[in-house]
Amino acid sequence: MSALKRISIKYLPFADAASDDLPLSQLLRLSLFQVSVGMAGVMLLGTLNRVMIVELQVPAFLVAIMVALPVLIAPFRALLGFKSDTYKSAIGWKRIPYLWFGTLWQFGGLAVMPAALLVLSGDTANVAYDIPWAGEILAGIAFVMTGLGMHMTQTAGLALAADRATDETRPRVVALLYVMLLAGMAVSSIVIGFMLRDFNGLELIQVVQGTAVATLVLNVIALWKQERVRPMTKAERAAQGPTFRDAWADYASGGSAGRLLAVVFIGTMAFNMQDVLLEPYGGQILGLSVSSTTLLTATWAIGALVGFALAAKWLADGINPYRMAGRGVLAGVAAFTAVIFANPMGSTGLFFFGASLIGFGGGLFSVATLTAAMTMPTSGTAGRGLALGAWGAAQATAAGISTAIGGGVRDTINQIATTGGLGEALNDPATGYSVVYHFEILMLFATLVALGPLVRTVTNTARGEAGKIGLADLPT
């Protein structure tokens, strides 16, 4: 039985991500915080987005504002990560308190959200008092609370995983955490969609508040016994720690941190600008049915899973993470090229292939840059929480901005093109989509330009030629 157990564990996916300090059972429990974040992300960006516009008939611009509110908190992830680096408690915990309070914020936002949305919809027949702007204010507070909880939970959870993993297992831990995030999004979207098939106000309250309870349960299981108790004296707790400004200056002093954040920001914008356009492109331009365009999410997810699996293998073999990020960017260039040519060639197969490549390239790029952030030296006052918070801030902010830009560019170009402003040849509804996809390819090439010095510096460092990687160090 002992031999059988060893064999079964050996062939489990990501079993080699475990270590003596972080056994597989604890690693899988810890990864549940990613499931809860994925579940909340589906609720905010998918389910509630549609419910507010279609069933509750909330104006689209109000929905856009509500969905954008959590993105406004993203730049503060670096500060949250720094606070978890320097937090002092009587029992010595640093990450667990931030995981816990992030859970409470996320739980609280989801718990009050359905009632706020029902008030926002203007259903005055079922409310005791009709107070002007109450729905807008309450819904905004609920979205901000949920977004703050998601950012705090994910930043502290990733930092805790980085603390407990070894240098050898850290890349595989990153890939596992991404898979769990994707799994949480996939499973929760199916379950939530099934439960809301017969929509009414009571169903909305039950599903959203049920998600809040599931968040609390999953995160409590995730954080249980994940950090050792290290009692601190009153004098140690009262000692003055570094300021955020000092820690940030220390983090950015080598030059590589700023360039890495620029790469993450530009690359994320390049991969996410099509986020709200791919399914409309398939339906409006290629004439696909609703059921066919729904399969795009599954196609993208399969590509992302393949990317995660290859990333774990390549990183275990010792590949330069920046070089792997470059492979993801090149896959993205091929992906958007395939999507563009799917229209003139009338090929749905090419379109679905491009969608899978978008997931594959984006998965490689995300895992590679997150690995680079997790393995970045943490000497001085800057810790892993600050590094991971800065990575998360750059990624989340870029994703939110790029989605808005993509939709705006498509609408503006199409309005000009369909009125003959760009000539007869471009008088086509596909023009706006094509401009966005071409712009994404351009940004992917810009990502490669920003990424090049990082690859070169890591290679030089491996050869014993240490040097900075800042913008000031580029050859003139």
pLDDT in tens, 371-381: 888 776 655 55
Going from the C-alpha of 386 to that of each of 32, 81, 114, 166, 257, the distances in angstroms are 22, 4, 34, 19, 11
pLDDT at position 444: 94
What's the pLDDT score for residue 126?
Answer: 55
pLDDT at 408: 81
Per-residue pLDDT tens over the stretch 282-293? 777 788 775 566
CA dist 404 and 402 (Å) reads: 5
Mean pLDDT, to the nearest integer, of 115-129?
A: 67
| pLDDT number for residue 468 | 39
266 neighbors 443 (Cβ within 8 angstroms): yes
Phi, psi torsion values for 14, nearest 5 degrees? 65, 20
pLDDT value at residue 221? 93
Q: What is the pLDDT of residue 472?
A: 37
Reply yes or no on whether the pLDDT at 16 is more than 70.
no
How distant is the alpha carbon of residue 331 from its chain centre?
19
pLDDT at 90: 76
pLDDT at position 370: 84
Structure tokens that stand for 139 in this block: 């819904």
| Better pLDDT: 314 or 63 | 314
Mean pLDDT of 239-257: 69
Please, are residues 389 and 262 in contact by the beta-carbon 8 Å criterion?
Answer: no
Q: What is the pLDDT of residue 91?
A: 76
Centre a 10 Å sphere on the Cβ of residue 475 and count the other Cβ atoms it contains.
4
Look over the chain and give the mean of its residue pLDDT values, rounded to a whole number: 78
Q: Name the band, by pLDDT with cuts 50, 70 and 90, for residue 447.
A: very high
* Spatial contact of 26 and 188, defined as CB atoms under 8 Å apart: no
Rounded to 10°, the helix 244-252/77-86 angle is 100
Least trusted range by pLDDT, from 131-135, 265-269, 321-325? 131-135
**CB-based burial, 113-139: b 16+ in 10 Å, e otherwise:** bbbbbbbbbeeeeeeeeeeeeebbebb
Please say whether the beta carbons of 90 and 235 come within 8 A. Answer: no
Q: What are the CA-CA distances from residue 162 to residues 55, 370, 408 (Å)?
A: 42, 11, 38
Residues 6+ apart with CB under 8 A from 66: 52, 139, 140, 143
In the chain, what percentage of residues exceed pLDDT 90?
A: 12
Query: Closest Cα partner for 263 from 394, 46, 451?
Result: 451
Instruction: List the alpha helices (DSSP H) in 43-133.
Output: 48-50, 60-73, 77-86, 95-120
Q: What percentage of the chain carries pLDDT values higher than 70? A: 82
Residue burial 211-229, b: 16+ Cβ < 10 Å; e: rest: bbebbbebbeebbeebbee
- Would you say residue 464 has pLDDT above 50? no
Q: Which residue, among 40, 29, 42, has the nearest Cα to 211 in the 3D structure? A: 40
* Backbone dihedral region for residue 423 (phi beyond 0: left; psi -120 to 50: alpha; all else: beta): left
Asked if the model's pLDDT at residue 446 lies above 90, the reply is yes
Most confident of 306-315, 360-369, 398-407: 360-369
Whole-number pLDDT of residue 220? 93
d(CA 365, CA 371): 10
Cβ 33 vs Cβ 157: under 8 Å: yes
pLDDT at 238: 67
Do residues 346 and 214 make contact, with C-beta atoms less than 8 angstroms apart? Answer: no
Distance from C-alpha of 252 to C-alpha of 461, rounded to nearest angstrom = 18
Residue 232, phi then psi, degrees to nearest 5: -120, 140
> Is pLDDT of 360 > 60?
yes
Q: Which residues, 6 or more positions from 138, have their beta carbon under 8 angstroms from its beta carbon?
A: 112, 115, 116, 119, 120
| More confident site: 110 or 202 | 110
pLDDT tens profile 278-319: 777 777 778 877 556 666 777 887 888 888 888 878 887 888
The secondary structure element, H or E, covering residue 429 is: none
Q: What SS3 class is residue 146?
A: helix
Distance, CA of 62 to CA of 120 (rounded, Å): 10
Split at pLDDT 50, 70, 90, the class of 128 is low
- Give the confidence band of 185 by pLDDT, cuts at 50, 70, 90: confident
Confidence of residue 337 (pLDDT cuts 50, 70, 90): very high
Average of pLDDT values for 190-213?
80
* Burial (0-12, 13-18, 19+ Cβ within 10 Å), 69: buried
Of 248-262, 382-396, 457-471, which gets the smallest average pLDDT? 457-471
CA distances from 59 to 49, 64, 66, 85, 135 (A): 11, 9, 11, 42, 13
Q: What is the pLDDT of residue 198?
A: 73
Backbone angles phi, psi at 250, to 5 degrees: -65, -40
Alpha carbons 58 and 36: distance in angstroms, whole number: 27
**pLDDT value at 149 more than 50:** yes
Which pTM was predicted?
A: 0.73
Asked whether residue 176 carries a pLDDT value surpassing 70, the answer given is: yes
